Amino acid sequence: MKTKKSKNVHTRTTYTPVVTCKLNSRQLLCGKDTNTQGVAISVAYPQRVDIERMAIDINDATTATDTDVKLVWDALRQEITEALSHGHRVQLDGLGTLTMELSSHTGPTAPTGKDVRISAIRFRPDKHLLDRLADVKFRVEGKVRQPLAAPELADALYEYFETHDDISTREFARISHYAMSTSYRKIREYIALGELEPVPRASGYYRPTPGNFGK
């Protein structure tokens, strides 16, 4: 007979994580000078941790099963969506606050209700979360990486697509050494040239059009 776990609090072994970072050169806007070079730092090898992974970890540490965790998460997700749809701020104690950010495309003209769109969902971290992360240590890997010039980027993409069917914006940024915002603009340029196209039903992924990048 299987003995039920007696734990009811999710605990972890205490240790200080070390996160590897990478450095990228990036162009900065400084007054009228658009050629000022700066350095951007980001996590080098971010891994996605989804609800499946977290449910297993919580199951191992508490009396809640992974099915319990998923059921609660589904209900919580619905509650969060419902609250945001009414324009409410959603405060997740110990984590942060979610709010809608709105925009319109009417320029200086005052918009009507039909002109307003949700442009983003903003997350503002709670002080408790920031305090819990204050002990994280960082290790900088390598030297500053320069963004690839157009010919080098084309070669890098050609090599990438030899073994991949599509590319995400994040992966494009990794290959090109561009910032995410710059990567997105560059991808839009490739789309305008007819060399890349969005992957249907896969937001944020792109693939070469026939005859481009070896396809």
The pLDDT tens digits of the residues spanning 18-52 come to: 898 877 766 554 555 544 556 778 787 777 888 99
Residues 68, 115: one domain?
yes
Residues 102, 161: one domain?
no
- List pLDDT tens digits, range 112-145: 888 888 888 999 999 999 999 998 999 887 776 7
pLDDT at 73 over 80: yes
Mean pLDDT across the stretch 94-105? Answer: 92
Give the residue, 14 or 187, on which the prediction is more confident: 187
Q: Is 24 part of a structural domain of the chain?
A: no
Residue 26 is predicted with a pLDDT of 63
pLDDT at 3 over 70: no
Among 86, 107, 132, which residue terminates a domain?
A: 132
Residues 66, 91: one domain?
yes
Residue 40 is predicted with a pLDDT of 74
Residue 131 is predicted with a pLDDT of 94
pLDDT at 85 over 50: yes
Q: Is 66 part of a structural domain of the chain?
A: yes
pTM of the model: 0.58
Q: Is 138 part of a structural domain of the chain?
A: no
| Domain housing 104 | 47-132
Q: Which residues contact 152 (CB under 8 A, 6 or more apart)?
A: none
Residues 53, 124: one domain?
yes
Q: Is 141 part of a structural domain of the chain?
A: no
User: pLDDT tier at 148 (50, 70, 90 boundaries)?
Assistant: confident
Residues 123, 51: one domain?
yes
Number of structural domains the chain divides into: 2
pLDDT at 110 over 80: yes
Q: Is 142 part of a structural domain of the chain?
A: no
- List the CATH number of the domain containing 194: 1.10.10.10
pLDDT at 5 over 80: no
